């Protein structure tokens, strides 16, 4: 079974600075997808970014980028120019190609990010 | 707004009771997933449906069941409720089984 580990339960960053959230995963599969989801106090799960394992290029979405190291099974999220609205729980998630069409997400425990004005 | 609608937003019920949580997926999405988020277990996958058929089961208790109807909305039925079932229940949907899932706002269930 796949596992996802987020080793930083809490982190903080100054507004306008850069922060990196860590995520490692364990899998024996070669094809899979990785995601970062954000959960603000409103509790909505919001997709931040997605990475396909077969792509060597790291995904980027505006101020959010990832550092995907397939051999090391590492998938960190970098948030640049942090804003107050970035304060939230961040979840790393793994999705396999699944057998017989199952595509469930396996989540890490989350990292609570605080942004200091 | 993700386009996934869950009702009700909050639910308070007593132990031993039965409740039904409802999910309307995004327009055009055929796949529906249910997840449970609790303090001790984190986010756990419960069950997936695709176009009315069950596709995968995760850590779903026998007291829980789900279905997806012809109009593609889904319901999660929780029975013989226990205090430990108190959690946030999310529904997510995707166009196909392999595409990115978008989440609803969740139903907060409190069992007293």
| Chosen from A32, A45, A88, A90 to mutate, greatest number of chain B CBs within 10 A | A45
| Per-residue tokens: A86 | 């970035």
How do residues B48-98 score in pLDDT, each as one tens digit?
999 999 988 998 999 999 999 999 999 999 999 999 999 999 999 998 766
Cα(B5)–Cα(A73) distance, integer angstroms: 34
Please give the pLDDT value at position B98: 66
Quick check: A97 contacting B, CB < 8 Å?
A: yes
How do residues A24-55 score in pLDDT, each as one tens digit?
999 988 888 999 999 999 999 999 999 999 88
Residue B104 distance to chain A (closest CA, Å): 7
Structure-model confidence comparison of residues B18 and A1, the more confident one:
B18
Quick check: A105 contacting B, CB < 8 Å?
A: yes
Quick check: A102 contacting B, CB < 8 Å?
A: yes
Please give the pLDDT value at position B97: 62
Nearest CB among A35, A42, A104 relative to B48 is that of A104
CA closest to B51 among chain A residues: A101
- Examine the pLDDT at A20 and tell me if it is beyond 70: yes
Q: Pick from B11, B8, B55: which is nearest to A101 by CA?
A: B55
Q: Which residues pair with A4 in a beta bridge?
A: A25
- Examine the pLDDT at A78 and tell me if it is beyond 90: yes
Please give the pLDDT value at position A99: 62
The torsion angle over the Cα atoms of residues B26, A44, B43 and A34, rounded to 10 degrees, is: 70
How do residues A96-117 score in pLDDT, each as one tens digit?
776 656 678 999 999 999 999 9
pLDDT band at residue B1 under the 50/70/90 scheme = confident
- What's the mean per-residue pLDDT of chain A? 93
Residue B77 distance to chain A (closest CA, Å): 19
Lowest mean pLDDT across A73-77, B42-46, B60-64, B92-96: B92-96
Contact A102/B56, CB-based, under 8 Å? Answer: yes
Q: Is A20 exposed, middle or buried (0-12, 13-18, 19+ CB in 10 A)?
A: middle
How do residues B87-112 score in pLDDT, each as one tens digit?
999 999 998 766 788 999 999 999 99
Tell me what percent of the residues of chain A surpass a pLDDT of 90: 78
């Amino acid at each position: 079974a796949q596992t996802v580990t987020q080793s930083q339960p809490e982190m903080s960053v100054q507004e306008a600075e850069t922060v990196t959230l860590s995520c490692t995963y364990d899998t024996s599969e070669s094809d899979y997808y990785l995601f970062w989801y954000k959960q603000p106090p409103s509790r909505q799960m919001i997709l931040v970014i997605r990475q396909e394992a077969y792509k060597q290029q790291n995904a980027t979405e505006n101020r959010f980028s990832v550092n995907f190291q397939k051999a090391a099974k590492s998938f960190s999220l970098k948030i640049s120019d942090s804003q107050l609205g970035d304060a939230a729980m961040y979840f790393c998630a793994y999705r396999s190609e699944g057998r017989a069409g199952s595509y469930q997400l396996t989540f890490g425990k989350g990292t609570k990010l605080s942004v200091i004005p | 707004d993700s386009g996934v609608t869950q009702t009700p937003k909050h639910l308070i019920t007593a132990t031993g009771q039965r409740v039904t949580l409802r999910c309307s997926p995004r327009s055009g999405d055929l796949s529906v997933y249910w997840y449970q988020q609790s303090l001790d277990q984190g986010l756990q996958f419960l069950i997936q449906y695709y176009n009315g058929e069950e596709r995968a089961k995760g850590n779903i208790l026998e007291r829980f069941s789900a279905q997806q109807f012809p109009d593609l909305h889904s319901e999660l039925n929780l029975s013989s409720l226990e205090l430990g079932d108190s959690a946030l229940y999310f529904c997510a949907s995707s166009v196909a089984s392999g595409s990115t899932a978008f989440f609803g706002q969740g139903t907060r269930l409190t069992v007293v």
